[in-house]
Amino acid sequence: MVASRPAVLYNRRMKKRNLLGEDLARMLKGGVIMDVVNAKQAVIAEKAGACAVMALERVPSDIRAQGGVARMSDPRLIKEIQRAVSIPVMAKVRIGHEAEARILEALEIDFIDESEVLTPADPFDHIDKHTFKIPFVCGATSLWQALRRIDEGAAMIRTKGEAGTGNVIEAVRHMKVILREIKELRSLSPAKLKSIATEQRVSLALLKDVREKQRLPVVTFVAGGIATPADAALLMNLGAEGVFVGSGIFKSPHPEKTARAIVEATAHFKDAKKLAELSTGLGGAMPGLEIETLQTRMQER
Amino acid sequence: MTVGVLALQGDFVEHLSILESMGIQTLEVRTPEDLSKVHRLIIPGGESTAISLLLESSGLKRAIVERVKAGTLPILGTCAGVILLAKHVTGKNAPSTLRLMDITVDRNAYGSQLQSFDEKIRIKGSSKPLNVSFIRAPRITATGKHVQVLATYGSSAVFVRQGSLFAATFHAEVKGISAVHALFLDA
């Protein structure tokens, strides 16, 4: 979410932040993070120009179709993927599952996604991310969720969208909601700002920083339902700083070609002629789902 | 003078911010046409494999090499930018590079993100240490005889110069530090 450009884009003085993790997130900007379920897919993703891979056992559309409890991946799979690629490796843990996160940190991956795509483990709390050296990315559907996650120590935010649907509407919704809520902060009086911080359980210092800078203090990607180069370009134009693609690549008819096209579209999101070329002859996208037909809305987790 | 920042992937906005805070005219470079409008170029941090592919497909790779060979394009590369400027890259899945600087670079030499660190480094000729970030940083393992070492960390060169080409394995731009950019622009 690029707004004004002061010399230091983010407030680095605020306490208890994983600044090294936030810096790694900056290096991912303008890039595509791809879900992969094995080392072979990870290599395809790297060769297509992914800026990182997300290691998981089943892509969201399969989790959705097969049901059952979705958990952290087998460490063996993660190690195989780490050995296969040179780009950052991310992996998912269940919301609130600190033990899974400790395991991933011990494996020395690069980033943990505390993700609603897996079955939540804690009905009350997210992980206290301050106690980790490894950085976390967390999903959000609103400014308030984003700020609570940042208060807990998240080094990066992504919109939740609705994973595994190939339907971009929820990613657009969450991006627009967050942007609108940031804009609306400008008109609030100091007293109102204080009361809303209390009501939403977010720190006032953080809220003041967002109001002043008119952006979240950490890098913000989009996720959930992105399936085509045009989807990626749509969200980059809205102000996303990069894109997560889950099922959209390896559930498409030609994963290599689709992956490459989404990488190019994310870099050249303003170039309509280029986007037309990139969208040509992909053989279709993954099969999509209407949000109304879903049994499980992962975004509500 | 217009300074271009390669804007294909990575932390190019941070570099643009530093330049703009110095009152420099900037341009985001995504195509050879963009490149033809700039007098200097910065290659930011990011993923070198991703940037390498995008350099190739955009036609920028050839255009950059031509400008450098003609002596009309000073470049500053940071982190991934160092890898992309290097003649030799070691480590797995090394990307295809511009092969412009006589240096050997080991990718991700320090390890995963858990080995990323902040460190104070001092540029030669300056008394003031800079607190910079090494994020999954590459390590310069060898330098040719025309390469000048401008800063070191431990036993490794972390900031080097070869003629009008500069390469720093660390990030000063994420800290809002303009000293590295100032040195590049003065040269």
Span B126-142, pLDDT tens digits: 889 999 999 999 999 99
Residues 6+ apart with CB under 8 A from A286: A61, A166, A227, A247, A248, A251, A252
Q: Do A5 and B111 touch (CB under 8 A)?
A: no
Residues of A annotated as catalytic (active site), given as ranges: 92
- What is the C-alpha radius of gyration for chain A, rounded to an integer number of angstroms? 18
Mutate to test the interface with B, among A20, A90, A137, A220 (most CBs of B within 10 A): A20
Q: For residues A74-95, give the mean pLDDT.
A: 97
Given a cut of 70, whether residue A291 has pLDDT beyond it is: yes
Q: For residues B156-179, give the mean pLDDT.
A: 96
Provide the token pair at A27: 């290096």
Q: Do B108 and A267 touch (CB under 8 A)?
A: no
Q: Chain B residue with minimal CA distance to A104? A: B114
Collect all residues of chain A within an 8 Å Cβ-Cβ radius of residue B117: 20
Q: Chain A residue with minimal CA distance to B136? A: A24
Task: Give which of A11, A1, A77 is closest to A42, Cα–Cα.
Answer: A77
| Residues paired with residue B132 on neighbouring β-strands, in sequence order | B119
Q: Chain B residue with minimal CA distance to A134? A: B114
Q: Do B30 and A52 touch (CB under 8 A)?
A: no
Given a cut of 90, whether residue A209 has pLDDT beyond it is: yes
Look at B121 and A63; give whichever has higher pLDDT: B121
Instruction: Tell me the pLDDT tens digit for each residue of A254-290.
Output: 999 999 999 999 999 999 999 999 999 888 888 888 8
Residue B132: its H or E element: strand B130-134
Q: Phi-psi category of A199—alpha, beta or left, where left has phi over 0 and alpha has psi -120 to 50?
A: alpha
Q: Do B47 and A2 touch (CB under 8 A)?
A: no
Q: How far is B57 from chain A (nearest CA, A)?
A: 9
A 10 A CB-CB count for A37 gives 18
Phi, psi of B91 (to 5 degrees): 105, 160
Q: Which residue has the tokens 């109304």?
A: A292
Q: For residues B45-72, give the mean pLDDT.
A: 98
Q: pTM score > 0.80 for this model?
A: yes
Mean pLDDT (chain B) is: 96
Q: For residues B146-165, give the mean pLDDT.
A: 96
Q: Tell me what pLDDT residue A289 has.
A: 84
CA distance A126 to A94: 9
| DSSP string over B144-183 | -TTPEEEEEETTEEEEEEETTEEEESSBSGGGT--HHHHH
Amino acid code (one letter) for A114:
E
The CATH number for B71's domain is 3.40.50.880
Percent of chain A whose pLDDT exceeds 90: 80
Given a cut of 60, whether residue A14 has pLDDT beyond it is: no
Cβ-count burial A70-103 (b if 16+ within 10 Å, e if not): bbbbebebbbebbebbbbbbbbbbbbbbbebbeb
Q: Tell me what pLDDT residue A63 has.
A: 86
Task: Identify the domain containing residue B14 by its residue range.
Answer: 2-186
Percent of chain B whose pLDDT exceeds 90: 96
Residue A75: its H or E element: helix A75-84
User: How many domains is chain B partitioned into structurally?
Assistant: 1
Q: Tell me what pLDDT residue A280 has.
A: 94
CB–CB of A35/A245 below 8 Å? Answer: yes
Going by pLDDT thresholds of 50, 70 and 90, the confidence category of residue A13 is: low
Task: Give which of B21, B22, B61 is closest to B41, Cα–Cα.
Answer: B61
Q: Do B9 and A30 touch (CB under 8 A)?
A: yes
Given a cut of 60, whether residue A1 has pLDDT beyond it is: no
CB–CB of A242/A221 below 8 Å? Answer: yes
